[in-house]
Amino acid sequence: MKPTTLPLRVENLEDRSVPAVYYVSNAGVNGSAGTSTAAAWQTLQYAADRVNPGDTVVVLPGSYAGFNLTRDGTAAARITFSAQAGTSLISPTT
């Protein structure tokens, strides 16, 4: 008896991005990966310009200028800035 061959069905999947955790530190360098405390970004604005829905930015202790976040998260994938103790804004953005 000959086995039955079923047609192959392929379905396109939607694009999905994996939420990331980034770090900002006064000792950081804008242009680095931002993905660890050793490779942290230096400014909140640099982080705000690069985050995507679901991402978290951990702000290490220090004094920072404010930022303007123009990217949107979603109800299910918020953009979060989480400041550690000892963090302050020295010049809020209007």
Number of domains in the chain: 1
What does the DSSP 8-state code read for residue 7? Answer: P
pLDDT of 12 reads 75
Cβ–Cβ under 8 Å, residues 83 and 46: no
Domain span holding position 61: 21-65+77-91
Q: Is residue 41 part of a domain?
A: yes
Cβ–Cβ under 8 Å, residues 50 and 25: no
Confidence check: pLDDT of 8 > 90: no
Q: Is residue 4 part of a domain?
A: no
> pLDDT digits over 36-93, tens only?
999 999 999 999 999 999 999 999 999 999 999 999 999 999 999 999 999 999 987 7
Bridge partners of 24, per DSSP, are 41, 59
Q: Is residue 2 part of a domain?
A: no
DSSP 30-55: TTS--SSGGG-BS-HHHHHTT--TT-
Q: Is residue 58 part of a domain?
A: yes
Confidence check: pLDDT of 28 > 70: yes
The candidate with the shortest Cα–Cα distance to 22, out of 63, 71, 56, is 56
- Could you tell me which residue, 79 or 18, shows the higher pLDDT? 79
